[in-house]
C-alpha cells in the first residue's frame, strides 16, 4: 500500500461518525442526535443500546428504524432512506438525515387525577360530585409512529410533555367509563380493581394510535363530599338495622352525652328524662309497666290489664309503575326512611276508594315531620 493510500485510508476512518446516545436523565423519552447540518458520513457507526430505538427521518418523512445493536450505515441497512434519496448504486458522500433516539423502557408510577370533580347521577342520592386519582405505567411500542405523530421536530421530548397529553386523555376516558358503569355511588370505592381493568381496556386503543402501550392503570381512590359520605353511612345503617333497635341505640347515646354534661341542670334534667324513658322500656320488656310521676317522684307499679288486640292495617304502594305490598305501618316507615318511597308515592289501603299520595294519608303524615294541628273551632 502506497503512502497516499495509507493517508487516504486514515482520513476516511477519521471521518467515520459514531452515532449514539448515552441517556443520563430519568425523564427523556425522545432525544434528537445533534450534528452540524445533520450530515452523516458514509459507513458511520450507529450504536443503539438496550431500551432504545433509533429512528431516521428524512425531510419530515419516516425512514428506517433500528432496534438495539451496532450498525455500519450503508445502503444495505438503510433500504428506505436509500429509496427516498434515490441511491441506485450506493452512496459515498455525506448525507443529511435526522436521527431520533427513542427511550423504550417502561415508565412507571406516573400520576393522574381529576383536577375538578365530575358529576354522576345516582338513583337514590341524585346528582353527586366525585373525584378520583391513581397511577399508570406506559412504554413506547411503536417509535416511528410516536416520533411522527407526537414528537414532531422537538429535539428533546420529556416525560412531562407526554404525561400532559396522556393525563387529559385518561381523565376523559375515565369519566366516560365510570358514568357508563352505572354503579350505586357507594360501590365505586369498593370496586377500584374492576374499574381499573375496564378503564385500561377502554384507553389502550387511544394510546395505541400514537404508538404508546398502556401497561398498567390503577385507580387508588374515589372520593366524595363528606356530607354525602355521612348520608350514605346513615342509609346503610337504616338498611341493616332494625328501626326499634336503632332508636334505642340513639337514646342511649343521647343519655351518655347528657351524663357528661355535669355543669348544669339542663344536662341533669335530660339525664333523668332519659332515665324515665329507659325505665319504661325496661319495664315493658319485663312485663312490669311503670307510671311516670312528677319530677322528683318515684315510678310506681300499675295494674296491668291488656288492651284489646289492635287491627293490623296493611298498605299497598306504587314504585316505578309497579305495585308493592301489602306491608305494615312500620315496614312502610322503613321504606320511606330508606328512600324507596317518598311523599308523592301513591298509597292504598282497605276502605280507600282510590290511590292517594302518601302526604295526603292522615296517619302517614308523621313520616314527613313537623305536623301542625288544625285550627281550633270557633265558638
35 and 120 co-located in one domain: no
More confident position, 53 or 168: 53
Is residue 241 in a domain?
no
Same domain, 91 and 182: no
Residue 113 is assigned to a structural domain of this protein: yes
**DSSP H or E run through 145:** helix 143-146
Here the CATH number for the domain that contains residue 119 is: 3.30.479.30
Assess whether 118 and 221 both reside in one domain: yes
For cell 332519659, name the residue: 274
Q: Indicate whether 115 and 83 sit together in one domain.
A: no
Q: Is the same domain home to 68 and 87? A: yes
80 plus 147 within the same structural domain: no
Query: Looking at residue 37, what is its pLDDT?
Result: 62
Tell me which of 103, 118, 136 is where a domain ends: 103
Q: What tens digit of pLDDT does each residue of 265-288 get?
A: 444 445 445 555 554 554 555 454
Best mean pLDDT range from 20-34, 84-98, 244-258 = 20-34
Write down which residue in 161, 193, 225 finishes a domain.
Answer: 225
Does residue 3 have a pLDDT over 70?
A: no
Q: Which domain holds residue 322?
A: 315-367
* pLDDT score, position 216: 92
**Domain tally for the chain?**
3
The pLDDT tens digits of the residues spanning 80-132 come to: 888 888 776 666 667 778 899 999 999 888 888 888 887 877 777 777 788 88
In a domain, 169, yes or no: yes
In a domain, 254, yes or no: no
Residue 18 in this model has a pLDDT that exceeds 60: yes
On whether both 99 and 112 belong to a single domain, the answer is no
Distances (CA, A) of 353 to 315, 347, 348, 370: 14, 11, 8, 28
Question: What is the reported pLDDT for 256?
Answer: 75
For the segment 326-341, the average pLDDT, to the nearest whole number, is 88
Which H or E run contains 254?
helix 243-260
Looking at the structure, do residues 122 and 87 belong to the same domain, yes or no?
Answer: no
Cβ partners under 8 Å of residue 288, min gap 6:
301, 304
Residue 38 DSSP symbol:
G
DSSP 358: G
Residues 116 and 219 in one domain: yes
Q: Would you say residue 374 lies in a domain?
A: no
Q: Which of 126-130, 140-144, 242-246 has the highest mean pLDDT?
A: 140-144
Same-domain pairing of 114 and 212: yes
Residue 253 in any domain: the answer is no
More confident residue, 236 or 331: 331
Q: Got the DSSP string for 155-182?
A: SEEEHHHHHHHHHHHHHHHHHHHHHHH-
Q: Could you tell me if residue 237 is inside a domain?
A: no
For residues 122 and 162, membership in a common domain is answered with yes
Listed residues 174, 198, 225: the one ending a domain: 225
pLDDT at 295 > cutoff 60: no
Regarding whether 122 and 151 lie in a shared domain, the answer is yes
Query: What DSSP designation does 375 have?
Result: P
Bond into 118 cis (ω within 30): no
Kindly report the average pLDDT of the chain as a whole number.
Answer: 77
pLDDT number for residue 70: 95
Domain assignment present for residue 26? The answer is yes
Amino acid at each position: 500500500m502506497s503512502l497516499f493510500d495509507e493517508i487516504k485510508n486514515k482520513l476516511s476512518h477519521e471521518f467515520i461518525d459514531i452515532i449514539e446516545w448515552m441517556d443520563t436523565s430519568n425523564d427523556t423519552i425522545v432525544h434528537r442526535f445533534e450534528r452540524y447540518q445533520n450530515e452523516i458520513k458514509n459507513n458511520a457507526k450507529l450504536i443503539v443500546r438496550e431500551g432504545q430505538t433509533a429512528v431516521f427521518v428524512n425531510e419530515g418523512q419516516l425512514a428506517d428504524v433500528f432496534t438495539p445493536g451496532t450498525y455500519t450505515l450503508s445502503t444495505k441497512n438503510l433500504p428506505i432512506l436509500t429509496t427516498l434519496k434515490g441511491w441506485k448504486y450506493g452512496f459515498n458522500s455525506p448525507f443529511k438525515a435526522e436521527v431520533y433516539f427513542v427511550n423504550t423502557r417502561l415508565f412507571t408510577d406516573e400520576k393522574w387525577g381529576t383536577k375538578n370533580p365530575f358529576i354522576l347521577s345516582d338513583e337514590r342520592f341524585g346528582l353527586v360530585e366525585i373525584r378520583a386519582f391513581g397511577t399508570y405505567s406506559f412504554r413506547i411500542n411503536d417509535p416511528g409512529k410516536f416520533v411522527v405523530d407526537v414528537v414532531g421536530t422537538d429535539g428533546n421530548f420529556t416525560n412531562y410533555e407526554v404525561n400532559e397529553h396522556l393525563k387529559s386523555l385518561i381523565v376523559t376516558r375515565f369519566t366516560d367509563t365510570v358514568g357508563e358503569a352505572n354503579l350505586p355511588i357507594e360501590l365505586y370505592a369498593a370496586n377500584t380493581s374492576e374499574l381499573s381493568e375496564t378503564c385500561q381496556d377502554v384507553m389502550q386503543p387511544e394510546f395505541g394510535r400514537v404508538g404508546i402501550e398502556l401497561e398498567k392503570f390503577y385507580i387508588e381512590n374515589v372520593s366524595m363530599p363528606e356530607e354525602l359520605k355521612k348520608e350514605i353511612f346513615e342509609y346503610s345503617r337504616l338498611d341493616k338495622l332494625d328501626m326499634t333497635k336503632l332508636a334505642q341505640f340513639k337514646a342511649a347515646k343521647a343519655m351518655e352525652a347528657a351524663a357528661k354534661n355535669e355543669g348544669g341542670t339542663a344536662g341533669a334534667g335530660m339525664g333523668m328524662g332519659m332515665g324515665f324513658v329507659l325505665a319504661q322500656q325496661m319495664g315493658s320488656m319485663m312485663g312490669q309497666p311503670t307510671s311516670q310521676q312528677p319530677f322528683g317522684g318515684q315510678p310506681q307499679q300499675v295494674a296491668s290489664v291488656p288492651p284489646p288486640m289492635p287491627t293490623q292495617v296493611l298498605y299497598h304502594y306504587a314504585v316505578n309503575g309497579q305495585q308493592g305490598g301489602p306491608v305494615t305501618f312500620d315496614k312502610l316507615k322503613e321504606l320511606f326512611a330508606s328512600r324507596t318511597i317518598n311523599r308523592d308515592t301513591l298509597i292504598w289501603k282497605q276502605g280507600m276508594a282510590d290511590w292517594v299520595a302518601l302526604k295526603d294519608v292522615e296517619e302517614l303524615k308523621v313520616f314527613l315531620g313537623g305536623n301542625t294541628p288544625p285550627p281550633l273551632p270557633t265558638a
